[in-house]
Structure 1
Amino acid sequence: MLVLPATAAFAADPAPPEPLQLQAAINSVWVMLAAILVIFMQAGFALLEAGSTRMKNAGHVAGKTILTFGLCAIAFWAFGFGLAFGDGNEFFGTTGFFVTGLEEQAKAAFSSLALSDVPISIKFLFQLAFAGVSLAIAWGGFAERGKLPVYFIFGVLYTVLIYPIVAHWVWGGGWLAKIGMQDFAGSTVVHLQGATAALVATILLKPRIGKFNKDGTPNLIPGHNQVLSVLGVIILWIGWFGFNPGSTLSAMNDGFFGYIALTTNMATAAGAVAALVVSWMYFGKADIPSMLNGVLAALVAITASCAFVETWAAIVIGAAAAIITFFTAQWFEKAGLDDPIFAFSVHGIAGVVGTLATGFFATPELAAKVGVGGPGLFYGGGFHQLGVQALGLAGAFVFVFVLSFIILGLLKVTIGLRVTEEEEIIGLDLSEHGTYGYPEQMKKLQDQSNVSA
């Protein structure tokens, strides 16, 4: 019997990886994990929106999340990723369509992403997750009254013609990148874009039946399950640790992703507390939906500034975004806008607050570390960075509003945006899908209604 020495048994083991290979592997795993966290935010949106709408629409609201992310994935793979990050001009990319996942295409088409050693396939998945979040925000303006075919058409056009253009301006080497706009993870690119599209939909669709009285005063239409909404927000809070820290595209950067996670969490905590307190003062009761909106508003606001500001400033930004969002939500409703999940207030107004915040609070050290823009007003930078941030906001808002208005306006005069009055009354679960999300509960309500009649 031949017995080999112990050392000989391991002679064929592969050599340990080179430092650069190890670094690339760690970074790749980190960004892949971040992508998974951001994609999982779709579950948070499904629960939040379903819980915040009525029972007769719950299945539809949750189910369209799957549909629209599928549409987004295909459209972003074919055209959106190339338009956003492909080499081109200052306004849109012209290369990198139909992503192959091969590094040869990455080297030839995506110089804006060349600083990261993560494979292009993982970079694509990470950026797809962001596009999917932006589209999910846009659907808030359609809730409980939008036609299902509109989700197909506008979902594809938003992913191809709207979202990637502004993404290229800021992240793909476009004109806003060249003047130093600071939007680390997308307060403008992701959230303001989606919220602006939602605002256009809210205007064109008009209010839900029964939302406003003849004198214009609003009626409360509560969501059917506050617990689902809370769980959705918790999932979104956790998912944001992929959203913001993951945007470093690296785990091998002196733990900077951990610092970004810290600022993100502190802002969010401040937003939760501030929103609950201000709602308590305003309504006389501590309002849970307002607290949930405060959490999301703080998350949205810190998304732009998480890598540029100190922790104390993150707390200020989160609290300010929550409070401003609370009051703007009340104002928009009194002005006659029926935004069922407050998409424009939570993602639009808070996106503005967060984007402008770097113009005030960005520190010289952190701006230099990130390599984008300069210090804010409170750190000796004058009004320059604030002006850049305001210009970026204005450009993005006008572009998305006009293009969304054109697309949705054309859909309105052709196939129509809104379901019929009868379909809206019986609910989109039944009218669009033929079954209820809560069939037993809805049958009981129908039986009770028949007995009363």
Structure 2
Amino acid sequence: MKRPIILALPAAMLLATASPGLAQEADLTPPMQDIGFIFTTFMFLVSGFLVFFMAAGFTMLEAGLVRGKNVTMQLTKNVALFSLASLFYYLLGYNLMYPGDGWTITNILGAFSVTGLEPVGLEGAEPDLTYASVGSDFFFQLMFCAATASIVSGALAERIRLWPFLAFVVVLTAVIYPVQASWKWGGGFLDAAGFQDFAGSTVVHSVGGWAALTGAIILGPRLGKYGPDGRVSPIPGSNLALATLGTFILWLGWFGFNGGSQLYMDTAGNVADISRIFSNTNTAAAAGAVAALLLTQVMYRKPDLTMILNGALAGLVSITAEPLTPSLIEATLIGAVGGVIVVFAVPMLDKFKIDDVVGAIPVHLFAGIWGTLAVALTNDAANLFTQLYAIVVVGVFVVVTTAILWYLLKVVVGLRVSEETEINGLDVAELGMEAYPEFAKT
């Protein structure tokens, strides 16, 4: 806190000695104890809207990787899921994620109260000036919750009905995600055990990946994807330009995702750490993309753009569990392994006839697991067995809860569209409009 004092006091002294009028203006200078609160709150807000822009990235990525007859459905799902997450996270999820002193009866009942913000102008409030405003923290954490639901959307594209999917999103964002996140970020038992997950390789990305995996298995593959002889039929996306744009938007948003997870911007040391996080995040993404570029050239004799895009995203997911402590060389290696994982995991899922339209499971689940384990390579506070323990605990919880939810939705209301709807496209049958009405269906 010394540097803000050095900067602020001379300015106040100059104003005080210049004239009586200017001296009165000096009273507008924030008290020194407010400076850290102001800067940390500002960091959360800026980081939060960077992560919000990732919603556009997921939307464009999915719109580009599905066929033209299903683009409007993906656009609708992404707008709707973000909006539902925004509502149900404040109605229930945020308080579930931060249960205060733990899961006591009082705190469990308190979780069913609506999230409250500070009064206007902090009138009559006594905020914790060592941290940030409740509003900024809620806003930032909400973006992580919504991102988890976005991961599921792309994997199950082109054959899931809209309303059952949105019902799943409500439960995921209001209960499933917040409960497991409380175990680490809410000061729960995984945090007490020493589990390290800086920005959510497990808490966010693996959770979305596990939910997508259970959904893909229960829902089944798209028509024509897998032949009776085991042959895999590629189903190209409608617009690789949109998919590439979506990847770059996600890449940009990730600086807020990881950088904001420093949680404080009140000292020179914290600001320096944020810049280090930015550099490592970018390096890991680049390494993932290059690894996928080179590996697909070797394996298929031609680079595969979709693999390269997912390689960059896998590099980002891989570094998310610990973007602060690695050197640039270590961040390069962590990100590159993520890119390699994607190239091998995509055909592996096809062998098991698990149809993931956008590659969300390899990127967010498999690379998320790798990134969580890799923390032990660069952070002395991390223990490999504790990291593995947390992966298993979160994985079992999410697989069991989401599998039950997917199955109930399948039995009660039905998950999948009819064969006729799937063939003609979900846009016309489910929504009555097409994204590209001037083009013939593909």
Fold match (TM-score > 0.5) = yes
Alignment-derived partner of residue 373 in structure 2: 356
Cα deviation code 1:217-249 (max 9, x no counterpart): 110001010000000000000000000010112
Mean Cα displacement is larger for which, 7-16 or 350-359? 7-16
Matched residues in 2 for 1:116 and 1:327: separation?
Answer: 46
Secondary structure of 2:233's partner? coil
Secondary structure of 1:143's partner? coil
**Aligned 1:33-432 pairs, distance under 5 A:** 33-89=46-102, 94=108, 95=110, 97-102=113-118, 117-253=131-267, 254=269, 255-362=272-379, 364=380, 374=381, 385-432=383-430
What is the RMSD computed on CA atoms of the aligned residues? 2.1
* 2:259–2:278 Cα contact (<8 Å) kept: yes
Matched residues in 1 for 2:130 and 2:316: separation?
Answer: 25
* 1:275–1:290 Cα contact (<8 Å) kept: yes
Amino acid at match of 1:13: E
**2:22 is the counterpart of 1:10:** yes
Q: CA deviation at 1:152?
A: 2.3
* 1:91–1:165 Cα contact (<8 Å) kept: no
* 1:90–1:173 Cα contact (<8 Å) kept: no
* 1:268–1:318 Cα contact (<8 Å) kept: yes
Per the alignment, do residues 317 and 114 of structure 1 end up closer, same or farther by CA in structure 2, a change over 3 Å counting?
A: farther
**2:43 is the counterpart of 1:27:** no
What TM-score, normalized to structure 1?
Answer: 0.88
* 1:116–1:249 Cα contact (<8 Å) kept: no
Secondary structure of 2:19's partner? helix
Matched residues in 2 for 1:115 and 1:358: separation?
Answer: 31
Per the alignment, do residues 66 and 334 of structure 1 end up closer, same or farther by CA in structure 2, a change over 3 Å counting?
A: same
Matched residues in 2 for 1:91 and 1:49: separation?
Answer: 41
Identity over aligned residues, as a percent?
Answer: 38
Matched residues in 1 for 2:79 and 2:153: separation?
Answer: 12
Matched residues in 2 for 1:231 and 1:399: separation?
Answer: 34
- Mind listing any 5+ residue stretches in structure 1 that lack a counterpart? 1-5, 107-112, 365-373, 376-384, 447-453
Per the alignment, do residues 350 and 259 of structure 1 end up closer, same or farther by CA in structure 2, a change over 3 Å counting?
A: same
Matched residues in 2 for 1:341 and 1:261: separation?
Answer: 26
Matched residues in 1 for 2:222 and 2:378: separation?
Answer: 40
* 2:314–2:367 Cα contact (<8 Å) kept: yes
What TM-score, normalized to structure 2?
Answer: 0.90
- Mind listing any 5+ residue stretches in structure 2 that lack a counterpart? 1-17
- Runs of 4 or more off by more than 6 Å in structure 1? none
Aligned residues: 414
Q: CA deviation at 1:329?
A: 1.2
Amino acid at match of 2:254: W
Secondary structure of 1:244's partner? helix
* 2:338–2:367 Cα contact (<8 Å) kept: yes
